[in-house]
Amino acid sequence: MSSSKKIAVKRFESLDEIMSINGWKPNNPLTKHNYADLHGHYIFKDEDKVKCCLQKANGNLCRQDHQFGFVAKLRDNTITLLGNCCAKDNFDADTDIGQAVRRYDKEKDRLNQINTLKNIFEEKEECLMVLGELRVSLNKVLKYVSMFSEKVGNGNKEALLHMARTKNNAVAIKMVKYHEGDDGEGNLIKDKQVTKYTLGKINGVSIFNTVYIKSIIRKIDAMENAYLKLYSIDLEMSKSDAVKLKTEFDGYGEILSEGEGILKSLGGFKNNKFILMCFLTDNKVDQYKGAKAALEMSGNNVSRDKAKQWLGDYKRKLKDKHKVDRIFVIT
Ligand SMILES: [Zn+2]
């Protein structure tokens, strides 16, 4: 077999398919002397196995069961079977058959990579559409975050970003109760009791990590470029070029899951108890802004003063409920 001859890779998936090849003969002995060419390879779908027809030195057939192997053509134009490992173990690379199986496997591997690229190419339009839609949605999240941040003020925005980075989304306050008493010797003693109380958790804070969202958008841009450059698949390209090209598309699934994670966070964020926004910072102005935003979120568009009053009432009720004298935001 000349080494420049083009290798035609053909897979057989059942013994029936092989038996229908012209020249098929069962138990047809194969040796390096009667071997002519490779006709294809078999990988059976249903895990069936066939017996290897390699003829051993003692004249017997190998008869080892194989699920993978080669379909070989002999010099008399008959067809027989050769198990995968038997082909590699019994014929060195310098024999015709040894060289043929090695070249065949190489071509098969190359075509597998080309097929993967073909699948990527077939999905190109759909993937571009999905990426484009994701970019639009993520830009909407950025817009929402910027609008919301402006509403609640810088202190609250920083607190939300800190939560996103530390993944600690609990809003806690410090409650203080003062005690005054007599030490038994006529002296007044003051004492205070401090307890920590968690008001709740703010869901979906990861949307405030805009650096992260922008990094996903950059990945979308790069992936889109990779798809746009893929306008055809060169069927003759080498395996290593095909593998290299394929790696450009490896991140697709990750981009989708990261992007969808952010969209889910936005949904979670919009369902928060927005009163929590008033307890993120000890800056009073930001607290009132938080209160105004909280009221707005629940459909009550009120003035800053009204919001301030509402927050004051809320804090008073909180103090009464827990029978404490003061509450402090924990920053
Ligand atoms: Zn064998």
Boundary of a domain, candidates 58, 83, 108: 108
Confidence at residue 181, expressed as pLDDT on a 0 to 100 scale? 83
| Rounded CA separation 240/106 (Å) | 11
Let me know whether 78 and 164 are in one domain.
Answer: no
Look up tokens 């030195």; give the residue.
57
| Per-residue tokens: 127 | 């993937």
pLDDT exceeds cutoff 70 at 237: yes
Identify whether 113 is part of a domain.
no
**Contacts for 132 with CB less than 8 Å, ≥ 6 apart:** 224
For the question of whether the overall pTM of this predicted structure is more than 0.85, the answer is: no
Let me know whether 101 and 165 are in one domain.
Answer: no
Identify whether 211 is part of a domain.
yes
Let me know whether 30 and 178 are in one domain.
Answer: no
8 Å CB contact between 273 and 200: yes
Pick the closest to residue 254 from 121, 145, 134, 164 (CA basis): 134
Let me know whether 76 and 41 are in one domain.
Answer: yes
pLDDT exceeds cutoff 80 at 19: yes
Let me know whether 184 and 305 are in one domain.
Answer: yes
| Rounded CA separation 26/20 (Å) | 12
Boundary of a domain, candidates 73, 108, 143: 108
Per the DSSP assignment, residues forming a β-bridge with 174 are 196, 328
- pLDDT tens across 173-211, in order? 999 999 888 888 888 888 889 999 999 999 999 999 999
pLDDT exceeds cutoff 80 at 92: yes
- pLDDT tens across 124-179, in order? 999 999 999 999 999 999 999 999 999 999 999 999 999 999 999 999 999 999 98
Confidence at residue 2, expressed as pLDDT on a 0 to 100 scale? 43
Identify whether 189 is part of a domain.
yes
Boundary of a domain, candidates 41, 74, 108: 108
DSSP labels, 262-290: HHHHHHHHHTS-GGGGGGS-S-HHHHHHH
Let me know whether 200 and 263 are in one domain.
Answer: yes
| Rounded CA separation 190/175 (Å) | 16
Let me know whether 46 and 74 are in one domain.
Answer: yes
Identify whether 177 is part of a domain.
yes
| Rounded CA separation 137/259 (Å) | 9
Per the structure, the count of domains in the chain is 2
Identify whether 1 is part of a domain.
no
* Cα–ligand 1 centroid distance for 50 (angstroms): 10
* Cα–ligand 1 centroid distance for 239 (angstroms): 29
Let me know whether 197 and 319 are in one domain.
Answer: yes
Let me know whether 215 and 287 are in one domain.
Answer: yes
Residues, CB within 5 angstroms of ligand 1 (ion) = 52, 54, 62, 64, 83, 86
Rounded to 10 degrees, the C-alpha dihedral 225/226/232/237 comes to 150
**Contacts for 66 with CB less than 8 Å, ≥ 6 apart:** 49, 50, 51, 52, 81, 83, 84, 85, 86
Mean pLDDT value across residues 255-279: 95
* Cα–ligand 1 centroid distance for 45 (angstroms): 20
Confidence at residue 4, expressed as pLDDT on a 0 to 100 scale? 56
Let me know whether 164 and 271 are in one domain.
Answer: yes
* Cα–ligand 1 centroid distance for 86 (angstroms): 4
* Cα–ligand 1 centroid distance for 48 (angstroms): 16
Mean pLDDT value across residues 90-100: 88
Let me know whether 313 and 173 are in one domain.
Answer: yes
Confidence at residue 297, expressed as pLDDT on a 0 to 100 scale? 84
* Cα–ligand 1 centroid distance for 90 (angstroms): 9
**Model confidence band, residue 78 (pLDDT cutoffs 50, 70, 90):** very high
Pick the closest to residue 173 from 319, 18, 6, 9 (CA basis): 319
| Rounded CA separation 151/12 (Å) | 66
* Cα–ligand 1 centroid distance for 19 (angstroms): 19
For the chain, the first-to-last Cα distance in angstroms comes to 79
- pLDDT tens across 268-322, in order? 999 999 899 999 999 999 999 999 999 988 888 889 899 999 999 999 999 999 9
Let me know whether 213 and 315 are in one domain.
Answer: yes
Confidence at residue 278, expressed as pLDDT on a 0 to 100 scale? 93
Q: Quote the mean pLDDT of the chain.
A: 93
8 Å CB contact between 117 and 245: yes
* Cα–ligand 1 centroid distance for 216 (angstroms): 53
Confidence at residue 46, expressed as pLDDT on a 0 to 100 scale? 76
* Cα–ligand 1 centroid distance for 166 (angstroms): 61
Confidence at residue 298, expressed as pLDDT on a 0 to 100 scale? 83
Domain that holds residue 147: 125-221+250-329
Mean pLDDT value across residues 77-92: 91
